[in-house]
């Protein structure tokens, strides 16, 4: 029988794509989501993509009684924990909310898992834990730091998992440090759908492409990079989803915990991403050069060797595929 996986935050951007990848890999999945940053029609769309009914429980990961009930009702083999708040700027304004959702939310989940004797967890971490790395590509042994409350929560969660794993060898954690996830499922039925004006680059460019926003502000062109704009390691969300399945496979088969980067290993500048999006949507996109954004670093891209070695993970989709799939999603979304 298919093993059943609980996806907290499974209706969100990365969670919904991972749901599809899990079903394709033969897993069964249960979604828990409070829909604070996800559209309610995501579950209908997942049913269309997978051709099977979706089990989705609406609720909060902070509710231990709800979590206990889910573990009692379902034979869960492992958990993938996406449910968290993720906007860097908002975290500066509302640190307590971020500390509570991201750190207390993880603790509530771990307590409930322990009661249910489920000891396998894949955790959504972030390349934000590296700050501005001294060496590029950044590998998993690099020093960790934080620049804002969001980054602080990811670091505390990683360190908490280390303490817990060291104290009790029944636990096994897959800590996945995401670089910059973009793109959408090939059907264009699910994708990234920020509630407000997007903070992140590709969702913002997407809204310029649809005409909802007038122009992109490029936050700084005086960095020490070839064209002066910031460089990041963008990874297609379907590649990222695949990484979760591979992490889960490793936890469930060998029981070996791991901490790995999930990126492509290639960095692209803001202007290179803009040009790729222009190729995808077929027209030029207006932009202006604006001052640097507070807290931004010049250049980050990941060393991908450990993920390849431990999980067999390799990102296969490039920047043009990321932008084309994003455009397919937003253009469809606008017309439906
Ligand atoms: N950028 C612009 N204009 C915009 C938005 C972004 O020029 O309107 C630039 C940024 O200055 C940066 C690049 O585009 O150089 C990427 O910015 P994003 O906001 O898309 O992504 P970040 O790299 O700043 O942060 C993202 C996530 C974090 C995560 C981090 C990990 O938002 O949660 O990647 O590397 F921690």
Cβ atoms within 10 Å, residue 26: 9
pLDDT in tens, 264-304: 999 999 999 999 999 999 999 999 999 999 889 999 999 99
pLDDT at 132: 83
pLDDT at 236: 98
250, 121 in Cβ contact below 8 A? no
* Cα dihedral 76→172→311→109 (10° resolution): 50
Q: Is 296 in the pocket of ligand 1 (CB under 6 A)?
A: yes
Ligand 1: residue whose CA is nearest its atom 15: 230
According to DSSP, residue 147 is labeled S
Ligand 1: residue whose CA is nearest its atom 1: 201
| pLDDT at residue 223 tops 80 | yes
- Catalytic site residue from 19, 130, 150, 234: 150
pLDDT at 84: 98
In the chain, domain spans = 4-181+233-263+301-315
pLDDT at 156: 98
- Could you give the CA distance from residue 75 to residue 71 in angstroms, rounded to a whole number? 7
pLDDT at 154: 98
Choices 3.60.15.10, 3.40.50.720, 3.60.20.10, 3.40.50.300: CATH for 4-181+233-263+301-315: 3.40.50.720
Ligand 1: residue whose CA is nearest its atom 30: 128
Q: Is 270 in the pocket of ligand 1 (CB under 6 A)?
A: yes
Smallest CA-to-CA distance from 201 within 139, 290, 135 is with 290
pLDDT at 151: 96
- Could you give the CA distance from residue 236 to residue 319 in angstroms, rounded to a whole number? 8
Check the CA dihedral 68-69-72-74 and report its sign: negative
Interval 68-82 mean pLDDT: 98
> What integer best gives the mean pLDDT of the chain?
96
pLDDT at 89: 87
Interval 212-221 mean pLDDT: 97
Q: 160 alpha carbon to ligand 1 midpoint, in Å?
A: 26
Q: Is 149 in the pocket of ligand 1 (CB under 6 A)?
A: no
pLDDT in tens, 229-274: 999 999 999 999 999 999 999 999 999 999 999 999 999 999 999 9
| pLDDT at residue 336 tops 80 | no
First to last CA, the chain: 37
Q: 228 alpha carbon to ligand 1 midpoint, in Å?
A: 15
Residue 183 burial class via C-beta count within 10 angstroms: exposed 0-12, middle 13-18, buried 19 and up: buried
pLDDT at 196: 83
Q: Ligand 1, from 152, 223, 293, 297: best to mutate by most atoms within 8 Å of Cβ? A: 293
pLDDT grade, residue 328 (50/70/90)? very high
Cα 117 to chain centroid, rounded: 26
pLDDT in tens, 89-143: 899 999 999 999 999 999 999 999 999 999 999 999 999 999 889 999 999 999 9
Is 277 one of the annotated active-site residues of the chain?
no
Q: Is 204 in the pocket of ligand 1 (CB under 6 A)?
A: yes
pLDDT grade, residue 180 (50/70/90)? very high
- Could you give the CA distance from residue 177 to residue 21 in angstroms, rounded to a whole number? 18
pLDDT grade, residue 56 (50/70/90)? very high
Q: Is 88 in the pocket of ligand 1 (CB under 6 A)?
A: yes
Q: 200 alpha carbon to ligand 1 midpoint, in Å?
A: 5
């Amino acid at each position: 029988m298919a093993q059943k996986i609980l996806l907290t935050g499974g209706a969100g951007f990365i969670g919904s794509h991972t749901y599809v990848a899990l079903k394709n890999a033969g897993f069964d999945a249960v979604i828990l989501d409070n829909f604070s940053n996800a559209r309610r029609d995501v579950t209908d769309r997942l049913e269309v993509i997978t051709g099977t009914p979706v089990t989705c429980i609406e609720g909060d990961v902070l509710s231990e009684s709800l979590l206990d009930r889910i573990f009692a009702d379902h034979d869960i083999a492992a958990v993938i924990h996406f449910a968290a708040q993720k906007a860097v700027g908002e975290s500066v304004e509302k640190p307590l909310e971020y500390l509570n959702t991201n750190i207390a939310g993880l603790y509530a989940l771990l307590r409930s898992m322990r009661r249910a004797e489920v000891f396998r967890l894949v955790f959504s971490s972030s390349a934000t834990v590296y700050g501005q790395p001294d060496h590029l590509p950044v590998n998993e042994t690099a020093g960790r730091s934080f620049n804002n409350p969001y980054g602080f929560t990811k670091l505390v969660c990683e360190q908490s998992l280390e303490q817990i794993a060291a104290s009790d060898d029944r636990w096994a954690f897959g800590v996945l440090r995401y670089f910059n996830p973009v793109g959408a499922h090939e059907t264009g039925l699910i994708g990234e759908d920020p509630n407000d004006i997007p903070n992140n680059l590709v969702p913002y460019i997407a809204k310029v492409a649809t005409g909802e926003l007038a122009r992109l502000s490029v936050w700084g062109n005086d960095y020490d990079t070839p064209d002066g704009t910031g460089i990041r390691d963008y990874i297609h969300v379907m590649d990222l989803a695949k990484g979760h399945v591979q992490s889960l496979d490793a936890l469930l088969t060998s029981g070996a915990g791991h901490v790995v980067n999930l990126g492509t290993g290639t960095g692209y500048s803001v202007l290179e991403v803009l040009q790729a999006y222009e190729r995808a949507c077929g027209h030029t996109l207006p932009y202006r050069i604006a001052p640097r954004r507070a807290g931004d670093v010049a250049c980050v891209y990941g060393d991908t060797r450990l993920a390849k070695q431990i999980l067999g993970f390799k990102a296969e989709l490039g920047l043009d595929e990321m932008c084309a799939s994003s455009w397919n999603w937003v253009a469809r979304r606008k017309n439906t």
